[in-house]
Amino acid sequence: MKVKHKKIDYSKWGYIFILPFFVSFFIFSFIPLLDTIRYSFFEYYRSGIKEVGPNFVGMQNYISLLGSDMLKYAGNTLILWMIGFIPQIVIALVLAEWFVDARLKIHGTQFFKVVIYLPNLIMASAFAMLFFTMFSTNGPVNSILMSIGLTHQPVDFLGSALGTRSLVGLMNFLMWFGNSTIMLMAAIMGISPDIFEASELDGCNSIQRFFFITLPQIRPILAYTLITAIIGGLQMFDVPQILTNGQGTPDRTSMTLIMFLNSHLKSKNYGMAGALSVYLFIVSGILCFIVYRITNNDDPDGSKAAAKKAKKLQRKG
Amino acid sequence: MKSKQPNHLRSIFAHVVLIILSFMCLFFFYILIINATRSHADLQKGFSALPGSYLLKNLSSVANDGTFPMFRGILNSLIVSGCSAAICTYFSALTAYGLYAYDFKLKKIAFTFIMAILVMPTQVTAMGFLRLITNMGMYDSLLPLIIPSIASPSVFYFMYSYLQSSLPLSLVEASRIDGCGEFRTFNQIVLPIMKPAIAVQAIFSFVGSWNNYFVPALIIQSKNKMTVPILIATLRGADYMNFDMGKIYTMILVAIVPIIIVYLCLSKFIIAGVTLGGVKE
Amino acid sequence: MKKQVVSVLLIAAMTASLVAGCAKSSESSPGNENTEGNVINIYSWNSEFRERVEAIYPEVKEASKDGTVTMLNDGTEIHWIINPNQDGVYQQKLDEALMKQADASADDKVDIFLSETDYVNKYTDADADAAMPLTDLGIDPETDLADQYEFTKVTASDVNGVQRGSTWQCCPGLLVYRRDIAMDAFGTDDPEEIGQKVKDWDTIKTTAAELKAKGYYTFSSYADTFRPYGNSIEASWVSPGETTIKVDQKIMNWIKDSKEWLDAGYLDKNVKGQFNPDWNQAMGSSSKVFAFLFPAWGIDFTLKKNWDGENGVWGVTNPPQEYNWGGSYIHACTGTDNPEHVKDIILAVTANKENLLKISKEYTDFTNTKSGMQAAAGDNSYASEFLGGQNAFQYFVPVAENIKIAPLSAYDQGCVELIQSSFSDYFQGTVDFDKAKENFETAIIECYPDITAVQWPE
């Protein structure tokens, strides 16, 4: 039995199992990606209803993008993302820890778990619409502030860079902290209770337990949360778009990269949009690599450990 | 005794924080519901904390408007989101298992590749995607909204991480010895172990797909294939003559109900997943 | 005009790229074949045109309940293809269809499409040849459309003066004011006397100071005064064949005056732009805003909807400067397979005085018939209850007759929107003048890739 088993080559199953993913990826993402890259080397846009191009222009689109405010928009995106993400991950970690901590005896956990995820269910555009109404100069937030005497003049939230950015950050935080909490909770619940029990016997307090047991144990999921948050940050679009009417007002301080891309797509400037997409693609790749390196420093892709483990098991078997 | 007091304080603190956060989350739903009960004219006048009496009227105007087939839209969205969530989680789990449990030559390359495309923004490929779909004759059909979700790198990555922490390969070995085929092993042994991960990702991809406007707006043309976000956008795009904010808020409210139901159903699985996590070493 | 509601999501902008390959062939002789197609496809952004066709076109047999198909007596079906204006979705879907027009099967061809003043020039462009010259349809603008207002005909013509569209609607604008505020500030609410106080920009500025002293704003936002200035530019934003935007002195005047008015407190600093909640509230009874500049549609659909008081509080009088705001043009699409029907519809909806007067009565449009509108001005059955029994047509007519439409270009929509949003920061004091100019340049080049430079007047 043992001998026979060892001879079976399972590797073909590996290929079979990952095949659907790759086929679907190549058709629906890779071919379009090549298309985008191809157009990034062309001058190709629409003037009115007349088409201009495609004319091959080499790196021209890339160069003129470097001369534009692209880097400023990248900075905006980063700032907007940080304002939302830092509170998001901190609160999510704390909440996840609380929810799984039986000693805290939180009442109505089920209720809270449901409620914190609710903002994620509203479409971002609808959410932004609500915010826009609430924080307008004649909106309810200003009338509350004025009636409790905090301010005499209505606060022009959307008129200042700080106000607009904070609102975007607040919205992103509200929309995503529940999502992260659930994700991290699932990860913490996946940790073997034995470890917690052992730590309790060793006299760990909850803070020690959090930093020395929970955090290291959930590192893969934490990395996942970080990476998805970065993807979300890079793709940030609908919230600032609707809050600022697509202009990134005031003074283009809340213009994100995808809003910039959108304005090229809207003007049907396919060449420029293609080049910008390629830049975005490169940036996202680098970011992802860095994050992955930091969170899994000893084993860049996790496959080494898996392979080792598999071998060990096979040998054992 | 020593640790009891701080725990008590922490517990109070935790409750306070949770209540504040819940208030913030629910506040927007409150406003949405209030706004859905008010007429367009009332809404234009400004905000009110008290509900109006227009909910039924708004509802009936949403339900009866032939140019905005809301219920058809909800059905379309349910089909698209349900199928996407199902195939997305299933195939991502399958791919993750394929890369986790088997050893083969291209394994490392395949893994690195998926990691590399993980952060690619959707918008990057949108132009080419549309051209491709048109050439394939799938323009104005729901299929291109569903099939591409087979390849969801971020869901894959989540599944992979989950497998790493929760699936001992000895279990796979054991099932092989019992004579299980590879597919059966996956479907009957691995999938149940992954239930919490699948539930979490199913919610996320369902919601993501439900609220997706970008791709459907590219692909869908005819009224009876429109999904909810396109309908809401179309309604909001209506001009000054038939622009009705009360109706829009009502539509948003109606559009949220199905996902809340789905969420409440799936959230039970997450809780049930606690016990399943404990099959380690 | 119309809804510039906050925009939703990434627009489906790139849709049209898929037709990259098929160049537009210019087969433009609809011809005299007696076989008309069975389906008339009409592209529009709302039900406005459909409602008017169904109300007055005698050939209409019945309309489907959901508003997507209208049956004509001879069995031809009108298919209405409605896409929202928001985020340019309408134009994008239309452009896509126009590029496929040559290869489309007869029943899929676009037969009629609509455009708005802000972008009509994009479609009437002679080179683009998307809208057919009316003469090719057998309509002679000189005779058939003789009763139309001249400026609407100019608007719908290409650079060579060939008319390629026609409209049922004119949008001369008036000054709509609050009688109660007028009483309080000036001791009179008589339209003639108020008209004197707002007759030109210098006079209205003095009046604004009076209003300010009483605690009122003259207008709600700087965007409110844009149309009169923007409508009177000397040269088009972009001259034909050029790729440079020339900002007109009139626009600079608007910027200068708006800043001055805002700083002086004649405008409400809290209202930024139009079609937003703050602006809507400025039309409510608790607002301190004295007046708005509106055409007929603005009074009936924007102001009336936002007003929460009694009828008769608002009154109309002459504006400080004649202007036009909005208007939907009907075009026959090159390549149509139903030229006879198209011609018939255009004539029935835009050139038949009786039909137009009926539209004016039923939908309160100011319609495109000089003699008809003159008659309406003297006919008390056109008086408006909302305006306290005033007959607004009496005031619209002289404005309509004096409108000199500004020279148009295909870039108008972007220029008009972006100059307002870019300088909004300057008015509010967030950026200085030069930075606002720079922001406009950046935005406009993003919007129109073929624009190479922006010239500012000295």
- pLDDT, tens digit, 9 for 90 and up, residues C90-146: 888 888 888 888 888 888 889 999 998 888 988 988 888 889 999 998 888 888 888
Q: Is C21 on the interface with A (CB under 8 A)?
A: no
- The pLDDT score that the predictor gives to residue C292 is 94
Contact A132 C16 (CB under 8 A): no
Segments of chain B scoring below 50 in pLDDT: 1-3, 273-281
A200-214, A248-262, B115-129: lowest mean pLDDT where? B115-129
Sorted by sequence, the CB contacts under 8 Å of residue C348 that are 6+ apart come out as: C53, C56, C57, C58, C355
pLDDT band for position C17 (cuts 50, 70, 90): very low
Mean pLDDT, residues C28-50: 72
C207 and C313: one domain? yes
Range from A169-178, A221-230, C2-11 that averages highest in pLDDT: A169-178
Contact indicator for C443, C245 with CB cutoff of 8 Å? no
Task: Tell me the nearest-neighbour CA distance from B139 into chain A, angstroms.
Answer: 13
CA distance B194 to C1: 55
> Is C196 in the same domain as C312?
yes
Do C311 and C337 sit in the same domain of this protein? no
Q: At residue C7, what are phi and psi to the nearest 5 degrees? A: -85, 155
B237 touches chain C (CB under 8 A): yes
Q: Is there a contact between A68 and C448 if contact means CB atoms under 8 Å apart?
A: no
Position C261 in a domain: yes
Query: Given an 8 Å threshold on Cβ–Cβ distance, is B237 in contact with C5?
Result: yes
What CATH number is attached to the domain comprising B224?
1.10.3720.10
In a domain, A215, yes or no: yes
Q: How confident is the model at residue C219 (pLDDT cuts 50, 70, 90)?
A: very high
Give the Cα separation of B161 and A221 in Å (integer). 6
- Report if residue B281 sits inside a domain: no
pLDDT tens-place string over residues C273-312: 888 778 888 888 888 999 999 998 888 878 888 888 889 8
Which among A32, A117, A190 has CB closest to B132? Answer: A32
* Beta-ladder partners of A56: A42
**Is residue B7 a part of any domain in this protein?**
no
| pLDDT value at residue B270 | 57
From the CA of A121, how many Å to the nearest CA of chain B? Answer: 6
- Per residue, what are the HEC states of chain C? CCCCCCCCCCCCHHHHHHHCCCCCCCCCCCCCCCCCCCEEEEEECCCHHHHHHHHHCCCEEEECCCCCEEEECCCCEEEEEECCCHHHHHHHHHHHHHHHHHHCCHHHCEEEEEEECCCHHHHHCCCCCCECCHHHHCCCHHHHCCCCCHHHHHHCECCCCCECCECCECCEEEEEEEHHHHHHHHCCCCHHHHHHHCCCHHHHHHHHHHHHHCCCECECCHHHHHHHHHCCCCCCCCCCCCCEEECCHHHHHHHHHHHHHHHHCCECCCCCCCCCHHHHHCCCCCCCECEEEEEHHHHHHHHHHHCCCCCCCEEEECCCCCCECCCEEEEEECCCCCHHHHHHHHHHHHCCHHHHHHHHHHHCCCECCHHHHHHHHCCHHHCECCCCCECCHHHHHHHHHHCCCCCCCCCHHHHHHHHHHHHHHHHCCCCCHHHHHHHHHHHHHHHCCCCCEEECCC
* Cβ proximity of C325 and C1 under 8 Å: yes
Residue range(s) defining the domain that contains residue A146: 70-254
Res B94: pLDDT: 92
Q: Residue C25: which pLDDT band, with cuts at 50, 70 and 90?
A: very low
CB-based contacts of B64, cutoff 8 Å, min separation 6? none
- Which of B134, B217, B240 is opposite residue C302, by nearest beta carbon? B240
Cβ-based neighbours of A202, under 8 Å, separated by 6 or more: none
Q: Is C40 exposed, middle or buried (0-12, 13-18, 19+ CB in 10 A)?
A: buried
| Rounded percentage of chain C residues whose pLDDT exceeds 70 | 92
Domain range for residue B127?
Answer: 55-276
Asked whether the beta carbons of residue A47 and residue C449 sit closer than 8 angstroms, the reply is yes
Rounded to an integer, the average pLDDT of A120-149 is: 82
Average pLDDT along chain A:
80
- The predicted pLDDT at position C213 comes to 92
How many domains is chain A built from? 1
Residue B152 lies inside a defined structural domain of this protein:
yes
Q: Do A242 and C7 touch (CB under 8 A)?
A: yes
R_g of chain A computed on alpha carbons: 25
Which of the listed ranges A261-270, B49-58, C397-406 does the model predict with the highest average pLDDT? C397-406
Residue at C358 is within a domain: yes
In a domain, B12, yes or no: no
d(CA C219, CA C233): 22
Asked whether residue C377 is assigned to any structural domain, the reply reads yes
Q: Indicate the SS3 state at residue B102.
A: coil
- Inter-CA distances, B19 with A107, A207, A250, Å: 11, 22, 34
**A144 within some domain:** yes
CA–CA distance, C262 with B256 (Å, rounded to integer): 42
d(CA C429, CA A248): 16
Question: pLDDT tier at A231 (50, 70, 90 boundaries)?
Answer: confident
Q: For position B236, what pLDDT does the model report? A: 67
Instruction: Tell me if C442 is assigned to some domain.
Output: yes
| pLDDT tens readout for residues C150-186 | 888 888 888 888 999 999 998 999 999 999 999 999 9
Query: C219 is written with which tokens?
Result: 């207008």
- Number of domains present in the structure of chain B: 1
Cβ contact A106–B18 (<8 Å): yes
Domain assignment of residue B13, yes or no: no
Give CA C79 to chain center in angstroms: 24
Chain C residues with CB-CB distance to A139 below 8 A? 277
* Statement to judge: residues C338 and C412 lie in one domain: no
C380 and C412 inside one domain: no
Preferred mutation among B125, B162, B205 to probe A, highest tally of A CBs within 10 A: B125
- Asked if A201 and A270 count as a contact pair (C-beta separation under 8 A), the reply is no
Residue contact B213–C9, C-beta within 8 A: yes
| Residues of A whose CB is below 8 A from C287 | none
pLDDT at C18: 36
The verdict on residue B42 lying in a domain is no
Helix (H) or strand (E) holding A20: helix A11-25
| Chain A contact for C310 (CB, 8 A cutoff) | no
Residue of B nearest to A181 (CA): B200
In a domain, B105, yes or no: yes
Average pLDDT rounded to a whole number, residues A13-22: 89
Same domain as C187, residue C137:
no
d(CA C171, CA C174): 10
Question: Measured between alpha carbons, how far is residue C157 from residues C131, C165, C355 in Å?
Answer: 10, 7, 24
ipTM of the complex: 0.81
Pick from B120, B156, B164: CB nearest A302: B164
Residue C291 is predicted with a pLDDT of: 93
The amino acid present at C219, given as its one-letter code, is F
- Of the candidates A245, A251, A262, which has its C-beta nearest C10's C-beta? A262
With respect to residue A10, please indicate whether it lies within any of the assigned structural domains: no
Q: What share of chain A is helix, strand, coil (3-state, %, to 5)?
A: 75, 5, 20
C11 in a structural domain: no
Please compute the mean of the pLDDT values over residues A127-148 and round it to a whole number: 82
pLDDT digits (tens, 9 = 90+) for B217-230: 778 877 788 888 88
CB C293 within 8 A of CB C319: yes
Q: How confident is the model at residue A312 (pLDDT cuts 50, 70, 90)?
A: low
How many residues are there in chain B? 281
Question: Is residue C335 situated within a structural domain?
Answer: yes
Residue partners of A177: CB distance under 8 A and separation at least 6 = A87, A88, A91, A92, A95, A116, B21
Inter-chain residue contact C301 with B240, CB threshold 8 Å: yes
Domain that holds residue C159: 36-170+326-393
For residue A266, which of B238, C84, C115, C12 has the smallest C-alpha distance? C12
Question: Residue B233 falls within a domain, yes or no?
Answer: yes
In tens, the pLDDT along A78-121 reads 999 999 999 999 999 998 888 877 777 888 887 888 788 888 88
The domain that contains A209 carries what CATH number?
A: 1.10.3720.10
Instruction: Calculate the average pLDDT of chain C.
Output: 84
The gap from C-alpha C298 to its chain's centroid, in whole angstroms, comes to: 11
Both C103 and C192 in a single domain? no
Cβ of C270 within 8 Å of Cβ of A45? The answer is no
Q: Say whether A220 and B161 touch across the interface (CB within 8 A).
A: yes
pLDDT at A177 over 70: yes
Using CA atoms, how far apart are residues A45 and A53, in angstroms rounded to an integer? Answer: 7
**Residue C56 to residue A55: CA distance in whole angstroms:** 50
- Residue A290's SS3 state is helix
β-strands C453-455, C244-246 pairing: parallel
What does the alpha-carbon distance between residue C155 and residue C37 come to, in Å, rounded to a whole number?
Answer: 30
User: What is the tens place of the pLDDT at every residue in A41-74?
Assistant: 988 887 777 777 788 888 888 988 888 888 999 9
Q: How many pairs of residues across B and C have Cβ atoms under 8 Å apart? A: 105
Provide the token pair at C256: 């200068």
Most confident of A136-150, C257-271, C299-313: C257-271
Q: What CATH number has the domain bearing residue C368?
A: 3.40.190.10
Report the domain count for chain C: 2
- The reply to whether C192 and C267 lie within a common domain is yes
B224 contacts chain C (CB < 8 A): no
Judge whether C296 and C365 are in contact, CB under 8 Å: yes
C295 in the same domain as C332: no
Q: What is the pLDDT of residue A296?
A: 59
